[in-house]
Structure 1
Amino acid sequence: MPTGCYIYRTAESNFKPKQSRKYGKTSLEWLEWLSHSQNICIKHQFNGKEQRIGHRHLPVDGWCAETKTIYKFTGVFHGCPCQGAHQHRQREVDGDLCRPPKDTTYLKHYGEVIEMWECQWLNMRTSPDIKHFLDSKFPNCNPKWEMTQQQVLKNIVDGNLFGIVECDISVPDHLRTYFAEMQPIFKNANISRDDIGEFMYSYAIKHDILKQPRRSLIGSFTGNSTSNSTFKMVPETRTGRLSRLPNYRVRSQSVFRIFCRHRLGCTPRR
């Protein structure tokens, strides 16, 4: 399932992509590169939550418990020394750079502090090794265009989508006889006495059970939002991709939301 910085699209916005998090992606790139290149585990907000340090419970961008190392990523809006930053308040910036950062001084009491300026990382990430890693780790192309529902469905069928799809789904009419013994769509639904067969209805009356609807896991030919049983397609454990529709002989009717990390094969709508 997609974690970290993923893209979500909704039918209400014509499947225009939106980032799950507005800020923090650049720091995530740096932390993931450090984890990969140094073979260490760094805890951060995208793989759990930020570690809080000391009696002040100060949140930090990254924390390695094994090495007791604190990772601090400082953006350009925090007095970055790069040329041209904050020209409109240069005196305030110069003053900030002359004073020892209080937070960094505090954090050094609890472990080694490694700090990275955003401008430095943006220069580093142009390295071929880092660029190759980031392209494979974060395959999002960050598209700006909208998609049609048919384009979304095609990406599902082609196996190009890694994530979750919330949709209505059903078994085609001509295959319902084939699946009569065992319906292929499993969902949670509210079941009352009116929904069960004659034998179980008599059993429920005799034993005074199921007087109120009970939420149960059932097999069905359909899964739709009107019955409060919206179907969610999840990746296969082995391949990491969404289960393909033809393999289950079902069809998607309406897609409501998708949460994905994989590059979608589509072209901008004109």
Structure 2
Amino acid sequence: MEKKMYKSVELLVGSKLLRGCVRAPEGEGPFPAVCFFHGFSVDKIGLMRLHELFARRCVNEGFACVRFDFYGCGESEGDFNEMRFSDEVEQAKAIYSWTVDQNFADAQNVFLAGHSMGGAIVSMIAPLLQPKGAILWSPGNSAYYDISERVHAIPGHYKDFYDIGGLALSGAFLSEIRAIDMVKEAEGYNTEVLLIHGEKDEKIPISSIGLYLDMYGKNLTTEIIWGANHQFSSLDWKQQVYDKSIEYLKRRVSQ
């Protein structure tokens, strides 16, 4: 079996310690690289290994893949109740900058990719960082509404904390994210963007892609996974997402 590189890494962003990993093809590189960001209340592995299996697919196709747990998630330090959307945006920027400086990464071919809220974060930092490309899986521009509904949060009457599946969610997180126009913040990236969305997404409705269509115009390539839910939780749906993402990466890296 061909040997691949796997490395556990740490990154200090301000006072917040993040833990992550790098997968890369055999050899010294440099390789085109993908920074992949997880969504709300998940981690770098993803539900049913959604992100982990994509990272392995990237490596098999000649790309390195960098994934970190955001602060308060997965193996990173902090508690979930400390998690803030603006902090994750800053952490994502730092992860990209760290990746560009690594010997394994081809600095001219570093991509951003993310799922759900991670996808929304990708869209927001792309104008500043100007990566080689950006991949949005079911980008969570309407995440505030889904999260609020799950905990029955009432604007103007936010609690200090909510129990969301056994995690403590701060009311301050809801106050902050409610005020952010994620699509407006994404303006200014004029490179081709790939957006993949499940037709029957139960968390981020498929209608939400219309805002990205209006903003990106001809620079947006949209792929609908027919019948798929938010987590692309079938072998066929995952395969389609991975295939379309790799096709985009290969097309962009050669340009």
State the TM bucket, normalised to the shorter chain: under 0.3
Please tell me whether Structure 1 or Structure 2 has the larger radius of gyration of its CA atoms: 1
TM-score by length of 2: 0.23
Between the two structures, name the one with larger relative contact order (CA 8 Å, sep ≥ 6): 1
TM-score by length of 1: 0.22
